[in-house]
Amino acid sequence: MKSKINKIITAVLIAVFSVVCISCGKSGNEGKEKLKIVTTLFPQYDFAKQIAGDNAEITLLLTPGSESHTYEPTPKDVSKIQQADIFLYIGGESEVWADDVLRSVKNEKIKAVRLMDYITPVEEIHDTSEGEEHGHDETEFDEHIFTSLKNAEILLDEISSVICEADKANSEIYKKNASEYMIKIKELDEQFTELINNAERKTVVFGDRFPFRYFAEDYGLEFHAAFSGCSSETEASSATMSYLIDIVKKENIPVVFYIEFSAKTIADKIADATGTKTSLLHSCHNISKEDLQNNVTYVDLMTNNYKNLSEAIN
């Protein structure tokens, strides 16, 4: 199982890091410098950046453009967590390594925030298409909590509180920045609500993984997809393809979605078979190097999702 493999790899990394740091003494956090904030995924990286700005040194562990579900921390990553003032992670199945790293950390000052603790998680759906059955011994919760704008509001508020507590001298600045970003997220939530409430259809089809369970439940969207949100599969069965093609034809759906960094193979095949188009719905897990350099934000990505979803349901 992936989590067991993660634990073994992480244990080795922790052991290596401990040997390397044995002569390091305490981390260089003695003097009052910028806050050191380390994040695993893009959403919390963006939230911390919007709140703290230049007052913090914010690190995104996930390399731009890489796949979040297969990420493993390097000794350098473990070192960054060791020296952080704040560590922000989701805490789902893909991040079981984080708890192991935190148990090894000798920095008592670090504030680790497991963001799944602040929302009500829903169970991961392992079968989003008809006729496919997969056995699972354990209940796994969907870790894509940030696809919900309502959850994003909760996460932003919690991250703001943690940053304000860590740097009280600048707390008013942080509160103001968080409030301004919160307004943008709330406005987007209202726009999505209005869009979907007045839509011609409330069904979406993904020729890809489906990491939008929280988003769909927020607005009452029905969804059909080739794979679950954390699936490692890349090829859909003939039964799944037939089912998705039938749904598109039967419900006259004009757009088949794919997610960021996807090869688009399945979405393209469905679109070719049904005469429809394909479009991106970004899960915000991670962004490209270009987007990072251009300061693309979570709100920017969700705004573009609004535009693409508009075409699909109207």
**Percent of the chain with pLDDT strictly greater than 70:** 85
> pLDDT tens-digit profile of 215-229?
999 999 999 999 987
Chain-centroid distance of CA 116 in Å reads: 11
Residues in contact with 211: Cβ distance below 8 Å, sequence separation at least 6, in sequence order: 142, 144, 147, 229, 230, 259, 283, 285
pLDDT of 9 over the 50 cut: no
Question: Do residues 115 and 89 touch, judged by C-beta distance below 8 A?
Answer: yes
Query: For the whole prediction, is pTM greater than 0.85?
Result: yes
pLDDT of residue 128: 55
pLDDT of residue 105: 81
Residues in contact with 274: Cβ distance below 8 Å, sequence separation at least 6, in sequence order: 245, 248, 249, 253, 256
pLDDT of 133 over the 60 cut: no
pLDDT of residue 2: 47
pLDDT of 242 over the 50 cut: yes
pLDDT of residue 138: 62
Using DSSP's 3-state secondary structure scheme, residue 215 falls into: helix
Mean pLDDT for 86-103 is: 93
Written as six digits, the tokens of 204 are 């979406």
